[in-house]
């Protein structure tokens, strides 16, 4: 099945930019646009991977801190708790 061809209107400055972005002299504007779309999609995927990795690292750090401070929030809440017990340990 053949794709329907469409005509779009662009400013002359955009046409010049597309011309400048051609990698080969005989490359069509459609090919230039397809390459730009492909590059943008690749960049987006890399950014998503990077963000996911950073989130995972931040989560690991959060869990590490949470494990280290587990129970610390209860310090001083027990009226029968004696700090001297901990100082002599």
Angle, helices 29-68/12-21, rounded to nearest 10 degrees:
80
Q: What pTM did the predictor assign?
A: 0.62
Average pLDDT, the chain: 87
At 53-75, the pLDDT tens digits run 999 999 999 999 888 877 665 55
SS3 44: helix
Cα separation of 60 and 66, whole Å? 10
Q: How far apart are CA 45 and CA 67, in angstroms?
A: 33
Length of the chain: 89
């Amino acid at each position: 099945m053949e794709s329907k061809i469409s005509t779009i209107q662009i400013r002359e400055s955009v046409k010049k930019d597309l011309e400048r972005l051609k990698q080969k002299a005989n490359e069509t504007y459609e090919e230039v646009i397809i390459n730009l779309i492909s590059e943008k999609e690749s960049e987006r995927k890399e950014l998503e991977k990077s963000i996911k990795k950073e989130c995972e690292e931040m989560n690991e750090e959060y869990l590490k801190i949470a494990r280290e401070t587990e129970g610390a929030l209860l310090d001083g809440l027990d009226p029968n708790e004696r700090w001297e017990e901990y100082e002599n340990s």
